[in-house]
């Protein structure tokens, strides 16, 4: 096992260099950033005044594997020395978040796919994330492990308000105006490492713990965003119902998840584009 200290994989200077490089390439100074899944790829095509960069051209930028969903991406990330023991970090997924911060971004929108645990949820619902349970974090897989750099945030950040109430209310209003109020929900998202989907017993456990949906991503990005003071809005598309019952015959599969993603992509895109302009306005009026 190669053990590396966190700071050697992405020091403040590394982040600074990447930020400076990007800011040298563009005069755009965004205030809102969006991290979206493959299902929302079309969103990027609709952005006006856009400038695109290939990951491999950006200095220090972790290059994606190109999979539609990369569970266990932490596995291929560097190891780091934690405060008390060796832990895994996830610099690749959280790297862009700190770049956004250094570029002057104030709000981060994250979208995701997750399995519905709350019995009231239907496939195709959009859940506004109001809180989360970081299950990998309980086992020591945490994006803020290792030495803390105060230039990003404090050692022990508060997470009780990780998801902006104001942005959630805004999303709810916009959703209703767009006629999708009927399938916008609010709930607690739980992250598991995957790559397998949950067993029935695991799903029941998550339900008892108060989780409304479960997925394999997003919490590292949100945690790092909250640490450095970004306002966060999380949207999770419910692509399947998690089985809480041994007699249920349907089995979840990755294709189904992608299919639902495509089906609701249009609505989700409209919601996200409207949200971006409203976020921008709310920042301007502050």
Ligand X SMILES: *[C@@H]1O[C@H](CO)[C@@H](O)[C@H](O)[C@H]1NC(C)=O
Q: Which spans of this chain sit near ligand X (rule: CB under 6 A)?
A: 17, 20-21, 24, 35-40, 69, 111-113, 217-218, 221, 237, 261
State which residue has the least CB distance to ligand X.
37
Nearer to ligand X, 253 or 281 (CB): 253
Give backbone dihedrals phi and psi of 184, rounded to 5 degrees, phi first: -100, 125
**Other C-beta atoms lying within 10 Å of the C-beta of residue 109:** 21
- Least Å distance, CB 216 to ligand X, is 8
SS3 call for 34: strand
- Least Å distance, CB 210 to ligand X, is 21
Nearer to ligand X, 42 or 169 (CB): 42
- Least Å distance, CB 269 to ligand X, is 11
- Least Å distance, CB 10 to ligand X, is 15
- Least Å distance, CB 2 to ligand X, is 25
Nearer to ligand X, 274 or 282 (CB): 274
HEC string of 115-166? EECCCCCCCCCEEEEEEEEEHHHHCCCCCCCCCCCCCCCCCCCCCCCCCCHH
SS3 call for 241: strand
- Least Å distance, CB 1 to ligand X, is 26
SS3 call for 109: strand
Is residue 20 within a helix (H) or strand (E), and if so which, with residue range?
Answer: helix 12-25
CA dihedral 116, 217, 157, 21 (to 10 degrees): -140
Nearer to ligand X, 26 or 86 (CB): 26
- Cα–Cα distance, 243 to 74 (Å, whole number): 27
Nearer to ligand X, 9 or 257 (CB): 257
Nearer to ligand X, 46 or 248 (CB): 46
SS3 call for 90: coil
State the chain's maximal CA–CA distance in angstroms. 59
């Amino acid at each position: 096992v190669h053990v590396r200290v966190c700071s050697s994989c992405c020091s403040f200077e590394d982040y600074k260099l990447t930020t400076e490089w990007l800011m040298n390439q563009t005069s755009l100074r965004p205030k809102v950033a969006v991290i979206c899944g493959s299902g929302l790829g079309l969103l990027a095509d609709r952005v006006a005044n856009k400038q695109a960069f290939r990951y491999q051209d950006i200095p220090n930028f972790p290059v994606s594997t190109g999979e539609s969903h990369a569970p266990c991406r932490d596995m291929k990330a560097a190891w780091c020395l934690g405060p008390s023991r060796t832990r895994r970090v996830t610099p690749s997924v959280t790297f862009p978040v700190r770049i956004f911060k250094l570029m002057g971004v104030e709000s981060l929108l994250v979208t995701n796919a997750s399995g519905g645990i709350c019995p009231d949820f239907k496939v195709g619902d959009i859940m506004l994330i109001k809180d989360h349970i970081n299950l990998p974090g309980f086992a020591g897989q945490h994006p803020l492990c290792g030495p803390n750099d105060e230039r990003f945030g404090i050692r022990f950040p508060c997470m009780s308000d990780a998801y902006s109430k104001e942005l959630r209310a805004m999303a709810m209003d916009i959703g209703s105006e767009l006629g999708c109020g009927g399938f916008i929900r609010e709930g607690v998202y739980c992250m598991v490492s995957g790559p397998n989907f949950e067993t029935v017993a695991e799903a029941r456990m998550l339900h008892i713990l108060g989780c409304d949906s479960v997925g394999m991503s997003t919490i590292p990005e949100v945690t790092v965003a909250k640490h450095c003071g970004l306002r966060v809005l999380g949207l999770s598309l419910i692509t399947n119902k998690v089985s809480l019952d041994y007699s249920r015959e349907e089995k979840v599969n990755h294709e189904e998840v992608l299919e639902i993603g495509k089906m609701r992509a249009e609505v989700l895109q409209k919601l996200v584009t409207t949200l971006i302009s409203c976020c921008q306005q709310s920042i301007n009026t502050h």
